[in-house]
């Protein structure tokens, strides 16, 4: 199906474990983004990518790593998960205007 998808939709992990959240889009959009959404903070940009192999930090990048070897995929890795990374994570893509959001991944770090 066309669009933007995220996997998994729900994830529970433990402190210190590595976790990778996947994002895939079928529009061949140049720009892709990772946000986290927490009560009282709204959506905050973690990392973004302007094209394959080009990534840059957003507002809250610490503790996260991204890569973009292919235009359609933009995985987000938590190298050593902490409780403060419990959140809802949204991936988005864009081609210069509005951003289209994936369904989100609800991550709980115990």
Partner 1 sequence: GQNIDQPTEMTATEGAIVQINCTYQTSGFNGLFWYQQHAGEAPTFLSYNVLDGLEEKGRFSSFLSRSKGYSYLLLKELQMKDSASYLCAAGGGYGGATNKLIFGTGTLLAVQP
Binding site for partner 1 (CB under 8 A): 31, 35, 40-45, 48, 50, 58-59, 90, 94, 96-104
Closest to 47 measured CA to CA, from 30, 27, 67: 67
List the structure tokens of 52.
Answer: 């394959």
In the complex, minimum distance from the CB of residue 93 to partner 1, in angstroms, rounded to a whole number: 10
Nearer to partner 1, 45 or 52 (CB): 45
Torsion sign across C-alpha atoms 75, 2, 53, 104: negative
In the complex, minimum distance from the CB of residue 15 to partner 1, in angstroms, rounded to a whole number: 26
In the complex, minimum distance from the CB of residue 102 to partner 1, in angstroms, rounded to a whole number: 6
Nearer to partner 1, 37 or 73 (CB): 37
The residue with tokens 């940009």 is 45
Q: What is the rounded CA–CA span in Å between residue 67 and residue 62?
A: 15
């Amino acid at each position: 199906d066309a669009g933007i998808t995220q996997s998994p939709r729900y994830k529970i992990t433990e402190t210190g474990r590595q976790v990778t959240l996947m994002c895939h889009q079928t529009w061949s959009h140049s720009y892709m983004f990772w946000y986290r959404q927490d009560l009282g903070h709204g959506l905050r940009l973690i990392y973004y990518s302007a094209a394959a192999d080009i990534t840059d930090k957003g507002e809250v990048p610490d503790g996260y790593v991204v890569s973009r070897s292919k235009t359609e995929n933009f995985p987000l890795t938590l190298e050593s998960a902490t409780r403060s990374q419990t959140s809802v994570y949204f991936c988005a893509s864009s081609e210069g205007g509005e951003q289209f959001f994936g369904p989100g991944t609800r991550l709980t770090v115990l």
